[in-house]
Chains A and B, each alone.
Chain A
Protein backbone atom coordinates (compact mmCIF):
# COMPACT_ATOMS: atom_id res chain seq x y z
CA UNK A 1 0.00 0.00 0.00
CA UNK A 2 1.32 3.42 -0.94
CA UNK A 3 2.20 5.69 1.96
CA UNK A 4 2.77 9.39 1.60
CA UNK A 5 4.32 11.11 4.58
CA UNK A 6 4.82 14.81 5.08
CA UNK A 7 6.93 16.51 7.64
CA UNK A 8 6.60 18.55 9.55
CA UNK A 9 2.85 18.34 10.09
CA UNK A 10 2.81 21.69 11.86
CA UNK A 11 5.12 24.55 11.08
CA UNK A 12 5.18 27.95 12.70
CA UNK A 13 7.64 30.38 11.23
CA UNK A 14 8.41 34.04 11.21
CA UNK A 15 7.97 36.30 8.26
CA UNK A 16 11.10 36.60 6.21
CA UNK A 17 12.43 33.17 7.10
CA UNK A 18 13.03 30.21 4.82
CA UNK A 19 11.86 26.68 5.38
CA UNK A 20 11.28 23.37 3.60
CA UNK A 21 8.40 20.92 3.77
CA UNK A 22 9.23 17.33 2.91
CA UNK A 23 7.09 14.71 1.23
CA UNK A 24 8.24 11.09 1.21
CA UNK A 25 6.41 8.31 -0.56
CA UNK A 26 6.81 4.57 -0.50
CA UNK A 27 6.47 3.39 -4.09
CA UNK A 28 7.70 4.28 -7.53
CA UNK A 29 6.05 7.25 -9.13
CA UNK A 30 7.20 10.15 -11.23
CA UNK A 31 4.11 12.27 -10.83
CA UNK A 32 3.66 14.38 -7.75
CA UNK A 33 1.33 17.24 -6.94
CA UNK A 34 1.29 20.00 -4.37
CA UNK A 35 -1.93 21.60 -3.18
CA UNK A 36 -2.76 24.48 -0.89
CA UNK A 37 -5.84 24.66 1.32
CA UNK A 38 -6.93 27.79 3.18
CA UNK A 39 -9.16 27.35 6.24
CA UNK A 40 -12.72 26.59 5.23
CA UNK A 41 -11.79 26.43 1.55
CA UNK A 42 -11.14 23.79 -1.07
CA UNK A 43 -7.81 22.49 -2.32
CA UNK A 44 -6.02 24.57 -4.89
CA UNK A 45 -3.41 23.10 -7.20
CA UNK A 46 0.04 24.64 -6.81
CA UNK A 47 2.47 22.46 -8.73
CA UNK A 48 2.52 19.36 -10.88
CA UNK A 49 5.90 17.60 -11.04
CA UNK A 50 6.16 15.02 -13.78
CA UNK A 51 9.72 13.77 -13.88
CA UNK A 52 12.83 13.15 -11.85
CA UNK A 53 14.61 16.40 -11.18
CA UNK A 54 11.58 18.53 -11.98
CA UNK A 55 11.62 21.91 -10.33
CA UNK A 56 8.85 24.47 -10.42
CA UNK A 57 8.63 27.89 -8.83
CA UNK A 58 5.81 30.31 -8.21
CA UNK A 59 6.54 33.39 -6.20
CA UNK A 60 8.04 32.41 -2.85
CA UNK A 61 7.34 28.71 -3.32
CA UNK A 62 9.54 26.22 -5.12
CA UNK A 63 8.82 22.52 -5.48
CA UNK A 64 11.18 19.77 -6.58
CA UNK A 65 11.00 16.05 -7.18
CA UNK A 66 13.60 13.32 -6.70
CA UNK A 67 12.01 10.11 -7.87
CA UNK A 68 15.00 7.98 -6.95
CA UNK A 69 14.81 9.11 -3.34
CA UNK A 70 10.99 9.14 -3.52
CA UNK A 71 11.10 12.62 -2.11
CA UNK A 72 9.57 15.96 -2.98
CA UNK A 73 10.27 19.24 -1.26
CA UNK A 74 8.33 22.47 -1.06
CA UNK A 75 10.68 25.31 -0.22
CA UNK A 76 9.40 28.58 1.16
CA UNK A 77 11.56 31.64 0.68
CA UNK A 78 11.15 34.76 2.81
CA UNK A 79 7.78 33.72 4.13
CA UNK A 80 4.91 36.18 4.32
CA UNK A 81 1.68 35.92 6.26
CA UNK A 82 -0.33 35.23 3.12
CA UNK A 83 1.39 31.86 2.82
CA UNK A 84 -0.31 30.62 5.98
CA UNK A 85 -2.33 27.59 4.89
CA UNK A 86 -2.24 23.81 4.86
CA UNK A 87 -0.08 22.27 2.14
CA UNK A 88 -0.65 18.78 0.80
CA UNK A 89 1.48 16.65 -1.43
CA UNK A 90 -0.11 13.88 -3.46
CA UNK A 91 1.39 11.03 -5.44
CA UNK A 92 -0.21 9.75 -8.62
CA UNK A 93 -0.28 6.00 -8.92
CA UNK A 94 -1.57 4.16 -11.95
CA UNK A 95 -3.62 1.13 -10.97
CA UNK A 96 -4.95 -1.65 -13.12
CA UNK A 97 -8.17 0.10 -13.99
CA UNK A 98 -7.41 3.69 -13.27
CA UNK A 99 -5.24 6.33 -11.70
CA UNK A 100 -5.67 8.20 -8.45
CA UNK A 101 -3.84 10.54 -6.11
CA UNK A 102 -2.77 9.47 -2.65
CA UNK A 103 -2.46 12.45 -0.34
CA UNK A 104 -0.14 13.14 2.55
CA UNK A 105 -1.53 14.27 5.88
CA UNK A 106 -0.88 17.91 5.14
CA UNK A 107 1.45 20.47 6.67
CA UNK A 108 -0.25 23.30 8.52
CA UNK A 109 1.88 26.38 8.02
CA UNK A 110 1.50 29.49 10.15
CA UNK A 111 3.57 32.53 9.28
CA UNK A 112 3.83 34.99 12.14
CA UNK A 113 4.62 38.68 11.74
Chain B
Protein backbone atom coordinates (compact mmCIF):
# COMPACT_ATOMS: atom_id res chain seq x y z
CA UNK B 1 0.00 0.00 0.00
CA UNK B 2 1.23 3.50 -0.83
CA UNK B 3 0.24 4.88 2.54
CA UNK B 4 -1.50 8.20 3.05
CA UNK B 5 -0.77 10.51 0.15
CA UNK B 6 -0.72 14.27 0.45
CA UNK B 7 -0.19 16.97 -2.14
CA UNK B 8 1.44 19.29 -2.59
CA UNK B 9 4.39 18.55 -0.32
CA UNK B 10 5.38 22.18 -0.23
CA UNK B 11 3.32 25.27 -0.91
CA UNK B 12 4.44 28.87 -0.86
CA UNK B 13 1.77 31.48 -1.40
CA UNK B 14 1.08 35.12 -0.76
CA UNK B 15 -1.25 36.39 1.88
CA UNK B 16 -4.83 36.56 0.65
CA UNK B 17 -4.51 33.69 -1.80
CA UNK B 18 -6.57 30.53 -1.65
CA UNK B 19 -4.73 27.37 -0.69
CA UNK B 20 -6.02 23.83 -1.22
CA UNK B 21 -4.34 20.83 0.39
CA UNK B 22 -5.20 17.34 -0.74
CA UNK B 23 -5.20 13.95 0.89
CA UNK B 24 -5.78 10.39 -0.24
CA UNK B 25 -6.24 8.03 2.72
CA UNK B 26 -5.21 4.41 2.80
CA UNK B 27 -7.74 2.25 1.00
CA UNK B 28 -10.27 0.74 3.39
CA UNK B 29 -9.68 3.31 6.10
CA UNK B 30 -12.89 5.04 7.14
CA UNK B 31 -11.48 7.67 9.45
CA UNK B 32 -9.61 10.67 8.10
CA UNK B 33 -7.96 13.36 10.19
CA UNK B 34 -6.42 16.74 9.40
CA UNK B 35 -3.75 18.07 11.78
CA UNK B 36 -1.65 21.18 11.86
CA UNK B 37 1.79 21.33 13.47
CA UNK B 38 3.73 24.43 14.46
CA UNK B 39 6.54 25.06 16.89
CA UNK B 40 4.36 27.33 18.98
CA UNK B 41 1.19 25.25 19.17
CA UNK B 42 2.42 21.74 18.61
CA UNK B 43 0.19 19.19 16.90
CA UNK B 44 -3.44 20.28 16.65
CA UNK B 45 -6.40 18.29 15.35
CA UNK B 46 -8.36 20.47 12.96
CA UNK B 47 -11.17 18.18 11.82
CA UNK B 48 -11.93 14.52 11.35
CA UNK B 49 -14.28 12.49 9.20
CA UNK B 50 -15.87 9.09 9.63
CA UNK B 51 -17.23 7.49 6.48
CA UNK B 52 -16.86 10.81 4.68
CA UNK B 53 -18.96 12.66 7.26
CA UNK B 54 -17.35 15.43 9.33
CA UNK B 55 -17.55 14.40 12.98
CA UNK B 56 -15.74 17.15 14.82
CA UNK B 57 -14.52 20.40 13.31
CA UNK B 58 -14.04 22.23 16.59
CA UNK B 59 -10.33 22.49 15.91
CA UNK B 60 -10.76 24.49 12.72
CA UNK B 61 -9.31 27.85 13.68
CA UNK B 62 -11.78 30.08 11.88
CA UNK B 63 -14.15 30.37 8.96
CA UNK B 64 -11.27 30.81 6.56
CA UNK B 65 -10.66 27.08 6.91
CA UNK B 66 -12.92 24.48 5.35
CA UNK B 67 -12.59 20.76 4.70
CA UNK B 68 -14.46 18.33 2.51
CA UNK B 69 -14.44 14.64 1.88
CA UNK B 70 -16.50 13.99 -1.26
CA UNK B 71 -15.66 10.29 -1.31
CA UNK B 72 -13.77 7.65 0.60
CA UNK B 73 -10.53 8.22 -1.26
CA UNK B 74 -10.15 11.98 -1.27
CA UNK B 75 -10.25 14.95 1.08
CA UNK B 76 -9.34 18.61 0.81
CA UNK B 77 -8.47 21.29 3.31
CA UNK B 78 -8.93 24.79 1.99
CA UNK B 79 -7.77 28.09 3.40
CA UNK B 80 -9.32 31.19 1.92
CA UNK B 81 -7.92 33.80 2.30
CA UNK B 82 -4.58 32.62 3.63
CA UNK B 83 -2.62 34.57 6.24
CA UNK B 84 1.02 34.36 7.37
CA UNK B 85 -0.06 32.79 10.69
CA UNK B 86 -1.41 29.83 8.73
CA UNK B 87 2.17 28.82 7.94
CA UNK B 88 2.61 25.33 9.33
CA UNK B 89 2.93 21.70 8.38
CA UNK B 90 -0.45 20.13 7.69
CA UNK B 91 -0.77 16.39 8.14
CA UNK B 92 -3.49 14.08 6.99
CA UNK B 93 -3.94 10.74 8.75
CA UNK B 94 -6.24 7.76 8.35
CA UNK B 95 -7.28 4.64 10.22
CA UNK B 96 -9.89 1.92 10.29
CA UNK B 97 -12.99 2.05 12.47
CA UNK B 98 -11.93 -0.74 14.79
CA UNK B 99 -10.76 0.68 18.07
CA UNK B 100 -7.11 0.19 18.65
CA UNK B 101 -6.20 0.12 15.00
CA UNK B 102 -3.10 2.10 14.09
CA UNK B 103 -3.42 5.59 12.71
CA UNK B 104 -1.13 6.35 9.80
CA UNK B 105 0.10 9.80 8.92
CA UNK B 106 0.84 11.22 5.51
CA UNK B 107 4.13 12.97 4.75
CA UNK B 108 2.62 16.40 5.36
CA UNK B 109 2.32 19.62 3.40
CA UNK B 110 4.62 22.43 4.45
CA UNK B 111 2.71 25.67 3.88
CA UNK B 112 4.41 29.03 3.87
CA UNK B 113 2.29 32.14 3.54
CA UNK B 114 4.26 35.31 2.87
Give the B-binding residues of A (Cβ under 8 A).
31, 33, 35, 41-45, 48, 50, 88, 90, 92, 94-95, 97-103, 105-106
Contacts and interface: CB of A to CB of B under 8 A. Distances in A.
A33 B102 contact: yes
Contacts of A103: 42-43
Contact of A45 (B43, B56, B103): B103
Contact of B33 (A33, A42, A100): A100
Given A99-B31, A100-B45, A106-B42, A45 B102 contact: yes
What are the 7 A-B residue pairs with the smallest beta carbon separation, nearest first? A98-B55, A43-B105, A50-B100, A42-B105, A98-B50, A97-B55, A45-B102
A101 B103 contact: yes
A95 B48 CA distance: 12
A101 B105 CA distance: 12
A50 B48 CA distance: 22
7 contacts: A31-B100, A33-B102, A43-B105, A45-B102, A92-B99, A100-B55, A105-B42
A6 B83 CA distance: 31
Interface string B88-114: 000101000101101111111000000
Interface in B23-81: 31, 33, 42-43, 45, 48, 50, 55-56
Nearest to B97: A99
A31 B31 CA distance: 17
A43 B48 CA distance: 17
Contacts of A41: 107
A24 B79 CA distance: 34
Given A98-B50, A100-B56, A48 B43 contact: no
